[in-house]
Amino acid sequence: MKTKYEIILFWSEEDQVYLAEVPELPGCMADGASSQEALANAETVIAEWVETAESLGREIPESRGRLAYA
């Protein structure tokens, strides 16, 4: 089963790119010229983050998901 993590997408005026931050994985972030590119890059970076953590024997956080309130 593939683990799912929250991804926060936002425009960086300073960098002039979209940024995709993965808050549950420290330091895990990607960018892209479009929001779709940043999201695709984030998926790649998440997989690499998890792979690196596994190879180093580090704990991999469980995804918490988000609570939605009406």
Of residues 68 and 23, more confidence is placed in 23
Q: Indicate the number of domains in the chain.
A: 1
The answer to whether position 40 is within a domain reads yes
Amino acid at 28: C
Statement: residue 68 has pLDDT above 70: no
In this prediction the pTM is 0.84
CA distance 70 to 65: 16
Binned at pLDDT 50, 70 and 90, residue 70 comes out as very low
The answer to whether position 1 is within a domain reads no
Average predicted confidence (pLDDT) for the chain: 91
The answer to whether position 16 is within a domain reads yes
The answer to whether position 62 is within a domain reads no
**Is 28:58 a contact under the CB 8 Å cutoff?**
no
CA distance 40 to 17: 14
